[in-house]
Amino acid sequence: MFGNTYHMVRKIYKRVLTLGSFVLVLASCGKKDANSPGIEYMPDMYRSPSLEVYNGNQLSDDTVGIRTVGMRLPVPGTVPRGFMPYPYANDTAGYAAAGRELRNPIPLTPEILKEGEELYGKFCVHCHGAQGGGDGPVGLKLPGAPPAYYGTLKNLPAGKIFHTITYGKGLMGSHASQLTQQERWILVHYVQKLQHSKDAPAAGSDSTAVAKVDTKKRK
């Protein structure tokens, strides 16, 4: 009697145990190793053969076929649509010429200044500081802090500012890959505002700048 029950119960328990361990093994597959994204159901739908950005240049030799061609380098001298090449060379003469000849094509308005402030907060402030004094957290870590807009660079003309954002100068690198020409000109407006940020209030540029804009608008 007892033996019978014993065998029956053992059978049931064996089944439960097998099922349980199976489930546990399944569950443990879902456990995440930080270096592995985990299991994917049908990975070919997650990573289809169509080419995506950052697939890289997979041209080992010139085989053309599925998954072999990634981004190709454009032909030298290729000009993107809507792009105006910058005519000044990255040298002393180009710098001087840009300062002499270039004018900001974007008219100064309060909206543009606001946009410039936003761009400045994204692309400049960590080195040049909120007031352009060269005292941003990264600027202070550089071997030499950037010169202050309202100090050494107070009289830097717009063209030279644009030239510097385009090519870089000294420790500053080129920001042409991050900013379009239009964005650079918008930034020039804001940098020029900062050149006068420490002026005496009587000659304060803020009020004059806004006043100028107002007159323009009325015209």
Does residue 162 contact residue 102 with C-beta atoms inside 8 Å?
yes
Nearest approach, Cβ of residue 2 and another protein (Å):
7
Nearer to another protein, 63 or 178 (CB): 178
Q: Rule CB under 8 A: say whether 145 interacts with another protein.
A: yes
- Would you call 172 helix, strand, or coil by DSSP? strand
Q: Rule CB under 8 A: say whether 146 interacts with another protein.
A: yes
From the list 138, 204, 211, 217, which residue makes contact with another protein (rule: CB under 8 A)?
A: 138
> 10 Å Cβ neighbour count for 189?
23
Angle formed by the axes of helices 181-195 and 158-167, nearest 10°: 130
Q: Rule CB under 8 A: say whether 58 interacts with another protein.
A: no
Torsion from C-alpha of 107, 109, 111, 116, nearest 10 degrees: 60
From the list 24, 64, 79, 203, which residue makes contact with another protein (rule: CB under 8 A)?
A: 24
Distance (Å, whole) CA 107 – CA 113: 10
Q: Which range, of 35-43, 69-77, 103-111, 200-208, touches another protein by CB under 8 A?
A: 35-43
Does residue 132 contact residue 191 with C-beta atoms inside 8 Å?
yes
Which spans in 30-132 are helix H? 43-46, 92-101, 110-123, 125-128
From the list 87, 107, 110, 121, which residue makes contact with another protein (rule: CB under 8 A)?
A: 121
Nearest approach, Cβ of residue 107 and another protein (Å):
19
Binders of another protein among 152-211, rule CB under 8 A?
152, 168, 170-175, 177-179
Nearest to 86 by CA among 13, 153, 147, 163: 163
Long-range CB pairs of 88-93, under 8 A, 24+ apart, other chains included: 88/163, 90/167
Nearer to another protein, 170 or 204 (CB): 170
Q: Rule CB under 8 A: say whether 110 interacts with another protein.
A: no
Which residues have C-beta within 8 Å of that of residue 168, sequence separation ≥ 6?
A: 174, 175
From the list 11, 91, 207, 216, which residue makes contact with another protein (rule: CB under 8 A)?
A: 91
Nearest approach, Cβ of residue 20 and another protein (Å):
6
Chain residues binding another protein by CB under 8 A are 2, 5-6, 9-10, 13, 16, 19-20, 23-24, 26-30, 32, 34-41, 45-48, 50, 52-54, 56, 91-92, 95, 121-123, 125-127, 136-138, 141-148, 151-152, 168, 170-175, 177-179
